[in-house]
């Protein structure tokens, strides 16, 4: 049984990607066939703050009245990351 992971390019959001070698740390890199951007897939990231879905979850928790420090503990990310998301979403 094979498990298929659908990857999207973080720049153009298309699914036409191919494997493009590995970093020195052993993480798989990918190359978008449409725009040519090279990136590391979300499943290979160690720090949770780098995942693409975290911004939406941070904003949802802030709307629901959860504090910055509580979001930090719940999601396992830094307070600085949460504050940077809030500043970017405000402007």
DSSP state of 22: E
Judge contact between 77 and 48, C-beta under 8 A: yes
The arrangement of secondary structure in 1-46, i.e. its CATH architecture, is Single Sheet (2.20)
DSSP assignment letter at 79: H
Q: Can you say whether the dihedral through the CA atoms of 27, 32, 33, 35 is positive or negative?
A: negative
Q: What is the pTM of this model?
A: 0.53
Give the domain ranges of the chain: 1-46, 48-90
pLDDT score recorded for residue 26: 83
Q: pLDDT tens track of the chain, all 91 residues? A: 676 777 888 888 888 999 999 888 788 899 999 999 998 876 656 667 667 788 889 999 999 999 999 999 999 889 998 999 889 887 6
Region label for 14, one of left (φ > 0), alpha (ψ between -120 and 50) or beta (otherwise): beta
Question: Positive or negative, the Cα torsion across 69, 75, 78, 83?
Answer: negative
């Amino acid at each position: 049984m094979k498990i298929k992971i659908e990857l999207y390019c973080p720049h153009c959001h298309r699914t036409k990607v191919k494997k493009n070698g590995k970093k020195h740390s052993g993480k798989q890199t990918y190359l978008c066939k449409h725009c040519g951007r090279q990136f590391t897939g979300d499943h290979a990231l160690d720090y949770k703050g780098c995942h693409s879905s975290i911004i939406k979850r941070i904003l949802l928790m802030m709307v629901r009245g959860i504090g910055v420090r509580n979001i930090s503990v719940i999601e396992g990310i830094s307070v600085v990351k949460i504050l940077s998301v809030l500043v970017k979403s405000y402007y």
